[in-house]
């Protein structure tokens, strides 16, 4: 009977191989169900959005830092939004600010970071052929693509895209007649975000299911790389919080088009009283920030997980405090859901309630400090290899710590009331959320590029890219803290009208120049990335001498990842520089029975479990499918 089953399995395997060889170009590269192809689709789309989003920030930074400059050279791109005298239209300035925030938070740092690396690394690092549902995975990308097309189309409307800030607070966003940016552009923004949320929910369900159900033999939860822990926790955060944003968007659509009053009450426009009564714009803020604060960690935790892997690999040391790192991520995830109203200290909330949210907000510094301490301890006395990925990982830790310190200031309600809606807030969240997460993204791209494309990126260009970007980020956002303390408000079109702001014009110009230079530095990365895909040196099997399972696959794995049997796992992910070992790394699939010279006493006891692990049944999706 077993021989017959073996023959059937072999026939099924051949049928499967034939099935995948017969795929058309569209099935293999466009509507693909291969998690690695989908990850690349997310990455390329995220890069395109990043170029658009950062370009927008450069334009409005020029307006802020050089308000008398002539922008006529942008008329071929922006048309009538640039006047005949070369001035940027104030309404379009607000639209640029709105779209920049939306693009960078959702389309780059959420979809581009988590969508790329959760898709790419989860099956490879846990030992799975693919995601639990390849079809659902494909749908998640194409819902994101549809959201991207709708959001991009809104840029070409005659009345312009949405212009109510990326937080789209009502009543400005709830009344189509409020101003230009509240019209069709706002409607497309809401529709786009609805499709985006569907995309994230489909992806999140897939990530959670895959990690729980499809781990290879021996891959217990205490042997998972910290990358997988971060992706799993991120998916849970998104699965709980994104539906709340979906509900807030849906209610806003009802207010705009169906005459409801969820967020509207006693509104006057041009002296005319609207019939809306009974609603409250504060309700929207509660719903939005219930997603908005977990969103900080939805973009930050994947970067922290990537940083953990890259630092341990390139420091040639075990990650310090593995269980403490997991506990800190779980603590951050829990606290993320109960601190949202610290964004609302100025809404007139009860001071006692404000003190509760302030206390919970300050507590979140504890698990964050655990992560920072553990990163520094891992680096301490390590045999550090300064690859571009390692530089960006260390830079990520720097930004996470320095940006987090200003978060303690803003978490204090008495201080936040003074600093709210100033450039101090802009500087804080760009450091701790925007730039830190982007550095995690860069670290991941440089580190796993050889596995993605089978080629090596240019190391020198990567190092140049890091230093220009790292220095540029601090030159942009450290001065913003000072102008924020001086009272500079956010989202103002220009500051030349007020004496107390006019004296800081030189500082604003300095920030703008730093922003332009940092933007230009990203073209070093773009050149390095795309040229390396076609002309880079062929990557070796395991260029970073890393322990995790993805480096046991072929240099460029096909659909199914491993050509033969999926390897079993016998040890944790961070056996680097063990005393007595022949090499300074021991991959996860190496049994303890083969490393007697470097085993600790408790590890020798695990040798007895190796036969049991090797004999375990596990889910091989391709055989199951047949």
Residue-wise DSSP of 530-556: HHHHHHSEEP-SSTT---SGGGGS-SS
Nearest to 247 by CA among 184, 212, 306, 290: 290
pTM (two decimals): 0.93
Angle, nearest 10°, between helix axes 322-336 and 281-315?
Answer: 170
Range of the domain at 390: 30-538
What is the tens place of the pLDDT at every residue in 463-479? 999 999 999 999 999 99
CB of 491 closer than 8 Å to CB of 91: no
Has residue 98 been placed in a domain? yes
Q: What is the pLDDT of residues 227-268, one digit of tens each?
A: 999 999 999 999 999 999 999 999 999 999 998 999 999 888
Mean pLDDT of 501-517: 91
**C-alpha separations of 485 from 175, 180, 281, 418, 513 in Å:** 33, 32, 28, 8, 21
Tell me which of 110-114, 382-386, 614-618 is least confident: 614-618
Q: 134-148, 295-309, 357-371, 598-612 — which is least confidently predicted?
A: 598-612
H helices of 133-280, in order, are 134-153, 184-213, 226-257
Say which range, 17-31, 43-57, 138-152, 414-428, has the weakest mean pLDDT. Answer: 17-31
624 burial level (CB within 10 Å; 0-12, 13-18, 19+):
exposed
Mean pLDDT of 11-23: 47
Q: How far apart are CA 245 and CA 261, in angstroms?
A: 18
Q: Are 570 and 606 within 8 A, CB to CB?
A: yes
Q: Check whether 134 has a pLDDT greater than 60.
A: yes
How is residue 25 written in tokens?
């170009």
592 is a domain residue:
no
Phi, psi of 387 (to 5 degrees): -75, 165
Q: Which two tokens stand for residue 240?
A: 């709980």
- Return the pLDDT at 24: 77
Alpha carbons 216 and 225: distance in angstroms, whole number: 13
The least confident of 10-24, 281-295, 387-401, 563-577 is 10-24
pLDDT higher than threshold 60 for residue 623: no
| pLDDT score of 608 more than 50 | yes
pLDDT of residue 588: 94
Domain membership of residue 140 (yes or no) is yes
Distance (Å, whole) CA 197 – CA 200: 5
Tokens of 401: 């710590």
Give the Cα separation of 359 and 550 in Å (integer).
Answer: 42
- pLDDT at position 132: 93
Closest CA to 470 of 429, 529, 514: 514
Question: Around Cβ 225, how many Cβ atoms within 10 Å?
Answer: 27
d(CA 341, CA 289): 7
Give whole-number Cα distances, 290 to 140, 243, 339, 426, 427, in Å.
23, 10, 8, 20, 22
Q: Using pLDDT thresholds of 50, 70 and 90, give the confidence band for residue 410.
A: very high
Q: pLDDT category, 344, cuts 50, 70, 90? A: very high
Please list, residue by residue across 366-385, b when 16 or more beta carbons sit within 10 angstroms of its beta carbon and e when fewer do: ebbebbbebbeebbeebeee
Task: Say what the pLDDT of residue 622 is.
Answer: 60
pLDDT tens for 144-189 read: 999 999 999 999 999 999 998 899 999 999 999 888 889 999 999 9
Segment 593-618 shows an average pLDDT of 86
DSSP 3-state assignment of 489? Answer: strand
| Local structure of 529: helix, strand or coil | helix
Q: What is the pLDDT of residues 417-457, one digit of tens each?
A: 999 999 999 999 999 999 999 999 999 999 999 999 999 99
What is the reported pLDDT for 308?
Answer: 96
pLDDT score of 497 more than 80: no
What is the rounded average pLDDT for all residues in the chain? Answer: 91
Rounded Cα–Cα distance for residues 564 and 275 (Å): 68
pLDDT of 610 reads 86
Rounded to a whole number of angstroms, the distance between the first and last alpha carbons of the chain is 18
**DSSP label of 341:** G
Portion of the chain with pLDDT greater than 90, in percent: 77
413 lies in some domain: yes
Q: Check pLDDT > 70 for residue 20.
A: no
Closest listed residue to residue 431, CA positions, set 464, 395, 456: 395
**Mode of pairing for the β-strands spanning 268-269 and 272-273:** antiparallel
Out of 72-81, 117-126, 495-504, give the one with best mean pLDDT.
Answer: 117-126
Give the span between the Cα atoms of 433 and 294, in whole angstroms.
Answer: 11
5 within some domain: no
Note whether residue 620 is domain-resident. no
The residue among 3 and 178 whose pLDDT is bigger is 178
Residue 8 has pLDDT above 70, yes or no: no
Please give the Cα distance from 350 to 293 (Å, whole number).
20
pLDDT tier, 2 (very low <50, low <70, confident <90, very high otherwise) = very low
Closest by Cα among 402, 409, 321 to 367: 321
Round to whole Å and give the CA distance between 167 and 180.
17
Q: For residue 465, what is the domain's CATH number? A: 1.20.210.10
- Which are the contacts of 182, defined by CB distance < 8 A and separation ≥ 6? 162, 163, 164, 172, 173, 175, 176
Q: Is residue 13 over pLDDT 50?
A: no
Looking at the structure of the chain, the number of domains it has is 1
Q: Is residue 571 situated within a structural domain?
A: no
Question: Is 379 part of a structural domain of the chain?
Answer: yes
Chain centroid to Cα 557, Å, comes to 25
pLDDT value of residue 14: 39
Rounded CA-CA distance 304/201 in Å is 21
219 Rama sector, left if φ>0, alpha if ψ -120 to 50, beta otherwise:
beta
């Amino acid at each position: 009977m077993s021989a017959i089953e073996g023959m059937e399995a072999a026939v099924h395997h051949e049928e499967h191989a034939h099935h995948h060889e017969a795929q058309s170009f569209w099935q293999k590269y466009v509507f693909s169900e291969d998690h690695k192809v989908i990850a690349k689709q997310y990455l390329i789309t995220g890069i395109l959005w990043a170029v658009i989003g950062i370009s927008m920030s450069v334009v409005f930074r020029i307006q802020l830092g050089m308000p008398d400059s002539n922008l006529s050279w942008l008329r071929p791109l922006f048309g009538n939004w640039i006047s005949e005298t070369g001035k940027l239209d104030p309404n379009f300035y607000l639209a640029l600010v709105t779209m920049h925030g939306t693009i960078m938070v959702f389309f780059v740092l959420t979809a581009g970071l988590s969508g790329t690396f959760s898709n790419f690394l989860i099956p490879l690092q846990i030992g799975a052929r693919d995601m639990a549902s390849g079809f659902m995975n494909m749908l998640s990308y194409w819902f994101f693509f549809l959201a991207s097309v709708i959001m991009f189309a809104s840029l070409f409307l005659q009345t312009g895209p949405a212009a109510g800030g990326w937080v789209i607070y009502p009543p400005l966003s709830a009344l189509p007649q409020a101003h230009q940016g509240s019209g069709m552009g706002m409607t497309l923004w809401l529709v786009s975000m609805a499709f985006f949320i569907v995309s994230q929910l489909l992806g999140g369900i897939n990530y959670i299911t895959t990690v729980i159900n499809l781990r290879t033999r021996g891959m217990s939860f205490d042997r998972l790389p910290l990358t997988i822990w971060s992706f799993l926790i991120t998916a849970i955060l998104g699965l709980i919080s994104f539906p709340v944003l979906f509900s807030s968007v849906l209610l806003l659509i009802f207010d705009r088009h169906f005459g409801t009053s969820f967020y509207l009450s006693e509104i006057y426009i041009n002296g005319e009283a609207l019939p809306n009564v009974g609603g409250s714009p504060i309700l929207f803020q509660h719903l939005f920030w219930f997603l908005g604060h977990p969103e900080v960690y939805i973009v930050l935790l994947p970067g922290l997980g990537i940083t953990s892997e890259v630092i341990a690999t390139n420091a040639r040391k075990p990650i310090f405090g593995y269980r403490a790192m997991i506990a800190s991520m779980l603590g951050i995830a829990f606290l993320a859901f109960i601190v949202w109203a610290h964004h609302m200290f100025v809404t007139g909330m009860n001071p006692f309630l404000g003190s509760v949210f302030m206390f919970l907000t300050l507590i979140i510094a504890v698990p964050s400090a655990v992560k920072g301490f553990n990163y520094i301890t891992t680096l301490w006395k390590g045999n550090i290899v300064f690859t571009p990925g390692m530089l960006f990982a260390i830079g990520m830790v720097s930004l996470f710590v320095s940006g987090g310190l200003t978060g303690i200031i803003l978490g204090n309600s008495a201080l936040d009331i003074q600093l709210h809606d100033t450039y101090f807030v802009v500087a804080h969240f760009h450091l701790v959320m925007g730039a830190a997460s982007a550095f995690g993204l860069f670290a991941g791209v440089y580190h796993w590029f050889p596995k993605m494309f089978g080629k090596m990126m240019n190391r020198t260009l990567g190092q140049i890219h890091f230093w220009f970007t790292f220095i540029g980020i601090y030159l942009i956002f450290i001065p913003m803290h000072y102008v924020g303390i001086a009272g500079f408000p956010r989202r103002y079109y220009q500051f030349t009208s007020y004496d107390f702001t006019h004296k800081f014009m030189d500082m604003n110009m300095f920030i703008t120049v730093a922003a332009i230079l940092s933007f230009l530095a990203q073209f070093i990365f773009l050149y390095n990335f795309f040229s390396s895909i076609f002309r880079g040196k062929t990557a070796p099997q395991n260029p970073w001498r890393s322990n995790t399972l993805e480096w046991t696959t072929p240099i460029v794995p096909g659909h199914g990842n491993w050509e033969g049997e999926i390897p079993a796992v016998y040890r944790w992910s961070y056996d680097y520089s063990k005393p007595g070992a022949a090499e300074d790394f021991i991959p996860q699939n190496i049994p303890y029975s083969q490393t007697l010279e470097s085993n600790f006493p408790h590890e020798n006891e695990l040798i007895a479990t190796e036969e049991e692990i090797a004999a375990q049944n596990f889910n091989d999706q391709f055989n199951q499918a047949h």
